[in-house]
Chain A
C-alpha cells in the first residue's frame, strides 16, 4: 500500500533532490546533455554580483523578522483576549491567506502605482507628501515588497499563535498573578516561555518563506527590477531566460545551505535568550 506513494516520491522528490546536487556540478543549457565542470558554478557564484545582491535582499526579508513575528503575535493576543469584534477580525485577517501570491502581487502592482489608489487617497486626505513611487524607487521598493509579504502571511501567523495561546498552561499564569506579577511580567516571563516553541516554529517558517516563496510576488510586482531581486527569482531567470540550468542548480543548492545556516542561527538566537533570562 505504501508502494504507489513511494514510487512517486522516489521518482519526483528523492531522485530530483540527488540530481540537484549532481546538476550543480555541470554546465547544462537544457538541450544537449549536461557536461561535468566540477566546482566552477560555485566559484562563479562567489563572484557573481547579481547573485550576492539577491542573497542580501533575502537577508533583508529575514531581518524584518521582529515585525513579522511581533505583528501576528500582538493581533493573536488581542483576539485571544476577545477584543470587541474579535470574530469579525479573525475572519478578516484570514482572507489574504487564501489568495494566491500572484493575485496579491498584481493587486498591489495596481494599488501602488504612482497615479494609483494609495497615492491619490493620501493626497485627498492632505498627506500628499507621503505619496511615493512605491515600487519604482529603488530606495523603497524592497521595503515595500517586505511590507506586502508580511501583510500576506500575517493571517497564518495569527492562526498559529492563536492555537498556541489557546493551549497555554493557565495554572502557571494564575500562580504568577497571585505572586503579584504585573501583566507585563506575566507576559514576558511566563507566557513568552510557554509560547517559545510556537514562536520558533513560525520563525523557521519565515526563514523558509524568505528564501523560497518570494518568486511569484517579485515576478508580478517588480520582475526583479529596482533592487528587489531575490535568490529564487535569480534561479528562475538564470535557468529559463538565460538558459544556464547547471548554474541555476548550484543556486538551488546554495539556497538550501543558506536556509540551514540562517534557520540554525535564528533558533540559536532564540535559545540564547532563553538561557540568558
Chain B
C-alpha cells in the first residue's frame, strides 16, 4: 500500500511540475502578446496626449500622461497649417477615384464572369498580371503620360491614375464574388426582358453587396493613405493632399510635436472610422487570394 501511495505521489508531483511549466510557458507567451498589443495601441494614446498638452509638459515626460492641457495645437492645425484644407484636397481626389473604381470594376467583373467573348481567358490573365505590377515601377512613365496629357497638378490626373492602379485588384475581388451568382438567376432576368445593365444593377450587385463594401472601404483606405503618387502628381500648395502635408510638416515644424500630433490625429480619423465600422470587410479584402 505504501508503494502505491508513493507512486501516486510521484505521479501527482510529476503532473504538477508539468502543469506549472506549461502555465509559465503560456504566461510568457501571453505577456509577449500583450506587449505587442500595447505597442499597437500606444500610438493612439501618445498622439492624443501630445496633441492636447503644452510643450513644456511634453518635455517633462515625453511619453507619459499629460498634466497641463491645451487646445492650442488643435486650433493651430486648422488656422496655421490648413490641415482642414489638406484633408478636403484628399477627399476631393479619393472619393471620385473610389466611385470610379466601383463603377468600372463592377462593369468589367460582370462582363468577365458572365459573358462569353473571344479572349475572355486572356483578359482574366491580364488582370492578374497587372495586379502584380508594383506602382513604384511605373512611376516615371505614368508621370510622363500625365505630363503629356496636361494633367500634372490637376486633381483629375491623380484621380485617373489612382483608379487605374487599383482597378486590377478591384476587378479580381469583385469577380471572385460574382462567380457565386447562379447563372439561372441571370437567365431568368433575361427572360423577364431585363437588359445586361439592368440585370447587373438589380440582380447581381445586390447579391455581391459584401464584396462591394469590401471594395469601397479597402480602396478608400489605400488611397487616403497613399503617398508616392500624390507627392509626384500634385505638387502645388493649393491641391496638396493630407499625407504629403504631414510628411512635409516635419521639416517646417520639426520640434513642434503638439502640432504634428494634432495633424496626425486628424489624418487618422477616416481610417479609424473605417477600422471601427468595417473591420470585417477590410479583413475579407486583405486576405483575398491567400486562401483558395
**Closest residue of chain A to B275, judged by CB?**
A98
Q: Inside 8 A of B257's CB, which chain A residues have their CB? A: 110
- Known contacts: A102-B246, A121-B63. The answer to whether A256 contacts B196 by CB under 8 A is no
Does residue B291 face the partner (Cβ distance < 8 Å to A)?
Answer: yes
Residue from B29, B111, B227 having most chain A Cβ neighbours under 10 A: B227
Q: CA separation between A5 and B123, bound complex, in Å?
A: 11
Tell which of B138, B232, B247 touches A102, judged by Cβ atoms closer than 8 Å: B247
Does residue A4 face the partner (Cβ distance < 8 Å to B)?
Answer: yes
Q: Inside 8 A of A159's CB, which chain B residues have their CB? A: 283, 286-287
Q: Inside 8 A of B115's CB, which chain A residues have their CB? A: 1
Tell which of B40, B141, B221 touches A19, judged by Cβ atoms closer than 8 Å: B141
Contacting pair B134 A211 (CB below 8 A): yes
Residue from B105, B161, B196 having most chain A Cβ neighbours under 10 A: B161
Contacting pair A2 B264 (CB below 8 A): no
**Interface residues in B, total, Cβ within 8 A:** 87
**Interface residues in A, total, Cβ within 8 A:** 85
Q: CA separation between A77 and B118, bound complex, in Å?
A: 46
Q: Inside 8 A of B250's CB, which chain A residues have their CB? A: 106, 109, 220
Q: Inside 8 A of A213's CB, which chain B residues have their CB? A: 136
Does residue A198 face the partner (Cβ distance < 8 Å to B)?
Answer: yes
Contacting pair B46 A11 (CB below 8 A): no
Q: Inside 8 A of A93's CB, which chain B residues have their CB? A: 36-37, 40
The majority secondary structure among interface residues of chain A is: helix
Distance in angstroms from A12 CB to nearest chain B CB is: 4
**Closest residue of chain A to B279, judged by CB?**
A94
Tell which of B103, B144, B163, B264 touches A23, judged by Cβ atoms closer than 8 Å: B144
Residue from A104, A208, A249 having most chain B Cβ neighbours under 10 A: A249
Q: Inside 8 A of B46's CB, which chain A residues have their CB? A: 107, 111, 117
Distance in angstroms from B232 CB to nearest chain A CB is: 6
Distance in angstroms from A241 CB to nearest chain B CB is: 11
Contacting pair B142 A12 (CB below 8 A): yes
Q: Inside 8 A of A201's CB, which chain B residues have their CB? A: 289-290
Distance in angstroms from B142 CB to nearest chain A CB is: 5
Which residues 24-46 of A sit at the B interface, judged by CB distance below 8 A? 28, 30
Q: CA separation between A198 and B200, bound complex, in Å?
A: 33
- Known contacts: A167-B291, A198-B290. The answer to whether A252 contacts B33 by CB under 8 A is no
- Known contacts: A100-B224, A117-B63. The answer to whether A252 contacts B29 by CB under 8 A is no
Stretch of A83-91, A127-135, A137-145, A268-276 contacting B (4+ beta carbons < 8 Å): A83-91
Q: Inside 8 A of A253's CB, which chain B residues have their CB? A: 137
Q: Inside 8 A of B64's CB, which chain A residues have their CB? A: 117
* 10 residue pairs, one from A and one from B, having the closest CB atoms: A117-B63, A100-B225, A12-B164, A16-B141, A19-B141, A212-B134, A5-B108, A92-B37, A216-B227, A117-B62
Q: Can you name 25 A-B residue pairings with CB atoms under 8 Å?
A: A1-B197, A13-B133, A16-B142, A16-B145, A28-B144, A75-B33, A78-B33, A89-B33, A96-B43, A100-B267, A102-B227, A106-B246, A106-B264, A107-B46, A111-B46, A111-B63, A117-B46, A121-B63, A159-B286, A197-B291, A212-B134, A219-B227, A235-B140, A249-B140, A252-B137
Apart from A83-B33, A121-B63: 5 A-B pairs, beta carbons within 8 A:
A11-B145, A16-B138, A154-B36, A155-B40, A236-B232
